[in-house]
Structure 1
Amino acid sequence: MEKTNQLPRILIVDASRMVRAMLARQIRDLYDYREESDGEAAWQVLVLDHSIKLVICSLSLPVLDGNGLLARLRSSRLPRLAQMPMLMIAGDNEEAIGRAKSLGASDFINRAAGTSELLSRVDSLLRFSHVQSELKDSLEQQVQNPETGLFTRKYIELQAAQAMSHALRHGGEVSVIVLCFDNIGALRDEHGAEIVEQLQKRFVTMLLGKVRKEDSLGHFAGSQLVVVAPGTTVAACESFANRLREAINAANVAVHGQRLQLSVSAGVANSPADNVASAGALIELAVARMNAAQRGGGNQVVGGGRGAVERATPALTLERALSFIEMGREDDVLPHLKALGSRLLPLLALLDRELNLGWALGALEQPPADGSDGGN
């Protein structure tokens, strides 16, 4: 039967089997535990075992000593490892203790410490770690999306408000771009949520590499992303959005050997050009224009000025068209019939010639033999 209330897991690291057994007896009523005899093995366990909440570690260890393990953890790029509570087993060597302190040891205990003292120190460290984790999570939830690292909607709206206030005071301007993949629901239905999530992450990575340091990139609603660009003209924003659109449309992304027909649409709004005085209204205007771009067929950028709409209807492959038809989405194929037909005619001509299918082109090009219009 699966455990419902698992005890916090502690990693005990000491070269002595007797010391490990003694420490295990002292904590086993309140904590789950795991044992390792050297620092390198302990490091491998910590990387793989996400359930470990605290380490009781001797300074003297084979292969990789306690200070080496401590230094490796504190320099890790993974917050879980970098912030791992480390209760170090130390004697009376002040120099060794000072070295461990400088490397980030959380606390120290002597091998001869009794059960009460050991449990008290473990409990204190775990409580402190929990409070720190909750505080960090709370701050990140307010500012950053924990999955993408981008600003949350609440924070991006605050950034936009500050940029608008500064622009109004100093006669400047603020532009906003709202972007989203076209037909994201269909992509999710056809290829699964995991594929769409990977596409979103790749798009976010590309955006992060292109926006300026003074710009703010964050989430708005659903799959929509928003860029707040202080001091940027509407023309510059439209040009930037179109470059992104073209890059996505030309991207060679394949799933199970099939190239995805990807496109994004964007809406652009600018504070002086659109005569908007509030950040909320500016973002909502950009959202409305992005929605208009998607209703217009997608793969376009819609702004407020003349010539602000730039569209490039993507070619629909035959495989994609057949897939749409199988899903009952004939309406998505109809706008592309002429282009599809022009590409199919050479194939039909080849079939007609090689397979003697005299009806193939004749049915398409010749009127009925009786001269009627084919109706009833």
Structure 2
Amino acid sequence: MPAPTAMDTPQQRPRILIVDESRNVRTQLVQLIRDQYDFREEGDGEGGWQALVIDHSLQLVICAVSISIPLLDSDGLLARLRSSRLARLRQIPVLMVASNDEEANVRARALGASDFIASDIDASELLARIDSALRLAQAQNVLREHPERDTQHPDTGLPTRQRLEVHAAQAISYALRHESPVSILIMGFDRFDALRDEHGEDLVKELHKRFASMLFTKVRKEDSLGHYSGSDLAVVSPGTPYPACEAFANRLREAFAVANIAVHGKRLDLSVSVGVANTPVDRLNSASSLLTLAAQRLKTAQQAGGNRVVACGEKPLSQQPAPRLGHAIDLIKAGHENAVIPHLLHLSKEVLPFLELLERELKLGLPLAELRKRTLDREH
């Protein structure tokens, strides 16, 4: 049995460094993470750098995108970390609290920021981002330090989650440098536990192998197919824009739905669901956050009855906060009109005149007729 890691041992909680000149900001972040992680605070980049050099227990950094931190700003801290002679510091995950200055965000990304979080992020999302970043860092360390270690799943021969996360990180890094899209699909059997209870573990493993084999014949050579968790499989598809990826997900779902899979002469009623995430549509720039979002959308699809694809903008409104109007407009401009209506269904009739004004002045192509109809239908 492998030795427990810091993330598996309750007595050894991962330790997070929070760097921000504002005591209030540091306090807010501490309140969000203190139940799950140990922490250390520093008020400037120089103090953060010294802490990281001395304190080997620090596993992740949260730092504001800022040019005003005294002594050493966030750009300088990132530059020192990514050019350090110590591998531990070169590879440490750094979550940046995004700035309203997009140029500052771009600089931070170019200097090696691992991920970006909003200043008003809630506890559940922040904890999920930290957990994903730590897991990715751990996977990269394992593969780097033990290249001989088996990175293939014993049942299917596909890459394990550790290897898949590394592939995803590489694809995202390349995409950001070349301003190209990356899509991620995570798919799994609907009603998996009931299927296993009724037919047994051996049959489920065999179905999993067939599912993996079918997917392997469908993906491109440049795509990465591997395990995500349990029976769920994931595809990392570099260069694939969101509409094409969603269409591909539906083709996979339909192909499996019509497959004639029988046990003892009896055809099994099987279906799969797929969660889709994409950069730039989802405005996420890290592999961990995209994988987590795709997994959340898979769960949403399964909870909604299964045999469906949940992609950008399609999460049921009861399970997500009301999206920002600016995001919906960005989706329209990017050619994703079908994703806009689910984003705007929370709008009331009182807001529609404002949208009509925007349409007259800016010619955004808002689907106003459909929105009016949907809004009236909901009221009745």
TM over 0.5, shorter chain: no
- Structure (1 or 2) with the larger CA radius of gyration: 1
- TM-score, L = length of structure 2: 0.44
